[in-house]
Amino acid sequence: MMKKNNEVPYKIYLEESELPKQWYNIRADMKNKPAPLLNPATLKPMTQEELSVVFCEELVKQEIDDQTAFFDIPEEIIEFYKMYRPAPLVRAYFLEEKLKTPAKIYYKFEGNNTSGSHKLNSAIAQAYYAKKQGLKGVTTETGAGQWGTALSMACSYFDLDCQVYMVKVSYEQKPFRREVMRTYGAQVTPSPSEFTEVGRKILAEHPGTGGSLGCAISEAVEVALGKEGYRYVLGSVLNQVLLHQSVIGLEAKTAMDKYGISPDVIIGCAGGGSNLGGLMAPFIREKLKGEKDYQFIAIEPASCPSITRGVYAYDFCDTGKVCPLSKMYTLGSGFMPSPNHAGGLRYHGMNSVLSQLFEDKLIEARSVGQTEVFEAAELFARVEGTLPAPESAHAIKGAIDEALKCKETGEEKTILFGLTGTGYFDMKAYEKFHNGEMSDYVPTDEELQASFDGIIGYNNPKL
């Protein structure tokens, strides 16, 4: 029996039996498929065999499959999901009241697990397939540390070795996140480091750099290629990750359908694209099929504006240029973002699926400054009771902006956003905000142009 909107509880919980049994692959319903990954040596599409040198075999199949709409979730992964899923859908009544908006605001809360974010949804899947393949361990990168924490938890569960290259600025800003990873058995190295060839090269070219996700990816890939029985895994950007994260949106839609709710606007923070892609998955399916229309908004930091100011071109996924080429909105693999406190959003490019959807004008994107993001985070913490991660606070800022527009127009829109994680390890950032020491650096057009000039697919008609 469907309930009316005025009977919606503060938190909507699903039963364990209502957990999604399949992941949804957005590409299957896209008219314009995202461009394939290219081998940088041949500029031809990467084959399954070539990708399997770096990634787990089953994950490669998921990565390159743009026809299969649904993939069955293995029972072992569903059992693990039950530790922290289904995650609640929350009606932000207190925020609505504070803003005095006629809009109805909902958020999908993904922070109710030790990793502190949505990252565990894909980490457990990738660790499962690595174990199933008989591997000894995996390597990865992490920005703010939430992905590294999630992967260390998943590897511990399956008794796999886990080697994490953590962006140096985040390694220094968030020492306790590092210690959670070590608690779960991971080896954590600040990146760029002197332990890899690519790390030494980056340090020589950029002395004293705080690093970037692109740097850390290069180091992790180099180590995986050099160790027998190891593969590289990634917490965002890749299509397989969006696939696993679709559990977020599938749960949100099931919860909303129970109460006859249909969102008008769906908002997510955007770094590599995993949480936004996961949240919007079942809704974009309806839009692609022409069944319903929704407004999708990606919110990214003004200091690393890959969608709003980037170019759509083939580019390396990493700074060291050892990964395949992906056609995406990018600032250039050599772009070194300022030390923004939203470490998980400091990536130079965007997932190829979301890039294609943005190119086709099916989704929108906005960039916001760091200080205004923390103002939104503090407001949310005070009225809704949850301290958000800086990454999540970008989506909060977007939701507040949309709600205030409704206040001006009188529209009663329904807004859904993703609260991807908690900010309890981000107190250095909150301290800088409260002390008035937070910067709002925005790259100049000249700086971006210099980075664009180094993109292999920029102004290259063959790509």
Digit-by-digit pLDDT tens for the chain (463 residues) are: 344 455 899 999 999 999 999 999 999 999 999 999 999 999 999 999 999 999 999 999 999 999 999 999 999 999 999 999 999 999 999 999 999 999 999 999 999 998 889 999 999 999 999 999 999 999 999 988 889 999 999 999 999 999 999 999 889 988 898 999 999 999 999 999 999 999 999 999 999 898 888 889 899 999 999 999 999 999 989 999 999 999 999 999 999 999 999 999 999 999 999 999 999 999 999 999 999 999 999 999 999 999 999 999 999 988 888 889 999 999 999 898 777 666 678 789 999 999 999 999 999 999 999 999 999 999 999 999 999 999 999 999 999 999 999 999 999 999 999 999 999 888 989 999 999 999 899 999 999 999 999 999 998 888 8
Residue-level pLDDT at 340: 67
Residue type (1 letter), 43? L
Residue-level pLDDT at 460: 87
Residue type (1 letter), 135? L
Alpha-carbon distance of 377 to 455, in angstroms, equals 35
**Residue 190 bridge partners (DSSP):** 166
Residue-level pLDDT at 4: 47
Q: Using a pLDDT cut of 70, give the percent of the chain over it.
A: 98
Place of tokens 């210099």: 450
Alpha-carbon distance of 418 to 397, in angstroms, equals 11
What tokens were used for 24? 């949804």
Alpha-carbon distance of 268 to 281, in angstroms, equals 12
Residue-level pLDDT at 439: 86
Rounded to 5, what percent of the chain is helix, strand, coil? 40, 15, 40
Strands 161-167 and 311-316 turn out to be unpaired
Query: Is the separation of the CB atoms in 251 and 87 below 8 Å?
Result: yes
CB neighbour class for 404 (10 Å; exposed up to 12, middle 13-18, buried from 19)? middle
Please list, in sequence order, all residues whose beta carbon lies within 8 angstroms of the beta carbon of residue 413, skipping any fewer than 6 positions away.
103, 104, 264, 265, 402, 406
C-beta neighbour count of 316 within 10 angstroms: 26
Alpha-carbon distance of 216 to 231, in angstroms, equals 15
What tokens were used for 435? 């002390």
Residue-level pLDDT at 230: 98
Alpha-carbon distance of 200 to 211, in angstroms, equals 12
Reduced to 3 states (helix: H, G, I; strand: E, B; else coil), residue 328 is strand
Query: Is the separation of the CB atoms in 313 and 455 below 8 Å?
Result: yes
